[in-house]
Chains A and B, each alone.
Chain A
Amino acid sequence: MILQALFPRDIFAELERLQRDMQQNFDVYPNIRGRARGNYPALNVGGTAQSVDIYAFAPGLDPARIDVQLEKGVLTIAGERPREQPAEQATVHIDERFAGRFRRVVNLPEDIDPDTVQARYTDGVLHVSVQRRQAAQTRRIPID
């Protein structure tokens, strides 16, 4: 059983992970589509007065095979991260990384201009940026 002891699991790290998983499961999630299994890719969404920005933390993908679609204000990020086949005679000690197909869906605000969407993949993060329509930006209304 020496093999098992090579990378002893850090009990505190495990507890932290467990706590985080539970937190995620108990979170009241307003989105009807919920949260993806294994939370891959994790999403951060932010915006400025001019744009809406989505950051998908999706490491280890071929950018050519990420499917990004924007339809009727709904952004879909889909793809597949292939499972690594361990070499023959190899022992898997820890297997935590996500493998398989994924799909994450984000509702975007109504004021976006779908023609301006841009996507870029760097350091394992997919950044999708959509400009807001000019008319939607705050305007000062003159009073006669």
Chain B
Amino acid sequence: MNDTTRISNERRAQREENALLPPVNVCEDATGITLTADLPGVTREHLSLQIDADSLTIEGEITLRLPDDMAASHAEVALPSYRRVFTLSKELDPDRISAEFRQGVLTLRIPKAPHAQPRRIEVQAH
């Protein structure tokens, strides 16, 4: 392991520790999976979606425009970023994922590969 990978691994470990877990909904139909995630406070530029082998990583940094001298008196959102990892299965087609991000809600559509879509199998009667 060289220095660069060690640093990036350390950074990743740090990030994993210090991130909020965004709530998601996952719904599947015959042609694919729809995933929606709540990521309030994240701008489009600070949202990152990564597909690596068979895992999907959603990461986002919260960017609020705060006055410099602001003192927090109550904080329910106490960490500055979100992170969540999902394992994708083989019949999904990661090359055709489409994403939409609007008012803090991410919607991902992950289609199934055509060969994985359900086919009706004729039962032959003799």
A contact residues vs B (CB 8 Å cutoff) = 2-3, 5-8, 10, 13, 16-17, 39, 41-49, 51, 53, 55, 57-61, 84, 86-87, 89-98, 121, 123-125, 127
Contact B29 A89 (CB under 8 A): yes
CB contacts (< 8 Å) of B67 on chain A: these are 48, 51, 53
Contact B103 A87 (CB under 8 A): no
Contact A46 B39 (CB under 8 A): no
Contact A91 B27 (CB under 8 A): yes
Contact B41 A96 (CB under 8 A): no
Q: How far is the CB of B84 from chain A (nearest CB, A)?
A: 7
Contact B84 A13 (CB under 8 A): yes
CB contacts (< 8 Å) of A57 on chain B: these are 40-41, 76-77, 104
A84-B25 CB under 8 A given contacts A6-B89, A97-B36, A123-B43? yes
Contact A10 B77 (CB under 8 A): no
Q: How far is the CB of B40 from chain A (nearest CB, A)?
A: 4
Contact A90 B87 (CB under 8 A): no
A/B pair count, beta carbons within 8 Å: 131
Contact A46 B70 (CB under 8 A): yes
Q: Complex formed: what's the CA distance from A125 to B43 in Å?
A: 11
B26 located at the interface, meaning its Cβ lies under 8 Å from any Cβ of chain A in the complex:
yes
Contact B27 A92 (CB under 8 A): yes
In the assembled complex, 10 residue pairs joining A and B whose CB atoms fall closer than 8 Å, in A order, are A2-B89, A43-B76, A45-B75, A46-B72, A53-B70, A59-B105, A95-B25, A96-B23, A123-B63, A124-B41
CB contacts (< 8 Å) of B49 on chain A: these are none
Q: How far is the CB of A108 from chain B (nearest CB, A)?
A: 11
Contact A47 B71 (CB under 8 A): yes
Q: Which residue of B lies closest to A43 (CB)?
A: B76
Contact A90 B74 (CB under 8 A): no
